[in-house]
Amino acid sequence: MSALPGDEASTVPPVALIGPMAAGKSSLGRKLASRLGRTFADTDRLVVLEHGPIPELFAAEGEAAFRRYEAAAARRALVPGAVVALGGGAVLDEGTRALLAQATVVLVTVDERAAERRLSGGGRPLVADGIASWRRIAAEREPLYRSLADTAVDSSRTPMAQLVSTLEAWLRERER
């Protein structure tokens, strides 16, 4: 049976983008998937589609329920050939970390100044009180992000198109 155009992606591990809130994982993932001709999934978006807005979910059911929904979304999304943007805390789940061991993991970092600009839109319950919470959460998770990552890119000042090109070249070389 011959593969459809772009189906060669089904034989390669998923590409998972991890990192702190406001790092640009969703934007980068969407553009990278398009460039590679692969499917894209955003676990936060999957949770919203199934369970409603994240701030309302946190208020009604709490963070533990959100994390369960997020882990289920990660299980569905992390399939061969996909490019997946994971929510900042998705790596806290042991099952998600096990799935990431079978993926190509890209850590997307961002400095505090750029994160603060990006967070101004709100809608993120864990950082509702501002950059101090973001700083604390990012610092707590940093060692875990680093331990899971195969490579890292910084989105603070690098144009998105350049990040996409850099990752595309790195992935094509890695998947040879």
pLDDT by 10s per residue, the chain, length 176: 333 444 555 789 999 999 998 999 999 999 999 999 999 999 999 999 999 999 899 889 999 999 999 999 999 999 999 999 999 999 999 999 999 999 999 999 999 889 888 886 656 656 666 788 888 999 999 999 999 999 999 999 999 999 999 999 999 998 77
Q: Cα–Cα distance between 126 and 99 in angstroms, integer?
A: 24
Residue position matching structure tokens 């369960």: 68
Q: Cα–Cα distance between 139 and 124 in angstroms, integer?
A: 17
Task: Supply the pLDDT for residue 8.
Answer: 53
The CATH number of the domain holding residue 47 is: 3.40.50.300
Q: Is residue 174 part of a domain?
A: no
How many domains is the chain partitioned into structurally? 1
Task: Supply the pLDDT for residue 134.
Answer: 87
Q: Is residue 171 part of a domain?
A: no
Task: Supply the pLDDT for residue 55.
Answer: 86
> Under 8 Å CB-to-CB from 134, ≥6 apart: which residues?
20, 21, 22, 112, 115, 116, 119, 127
> Under 8 Å CB-to-CB from 84, ≥6 apart: which residues?
14, 15, 16, 17, 29, 40, 41, 42, 43, 74, 77, 78, 103
Residue 144 Cα to chain centre, angstroms? 14
The pTM of this model reads: 0.90
Task: Supply the pLDDT for residue 150.
Answer: 97
Q: Is residue 44 part of a domain?
A: yes
Q: Is residue 6 part of a domain?
A: no
Q: Is residue 150 part of a domain?
A: yes
Q: Is residue 68 part of a domain?
A: yes
User: Which residues form the domain of 114?
Assistant: 14-166
Task: Supply the pLDDT for residue 3.
Answer: 38
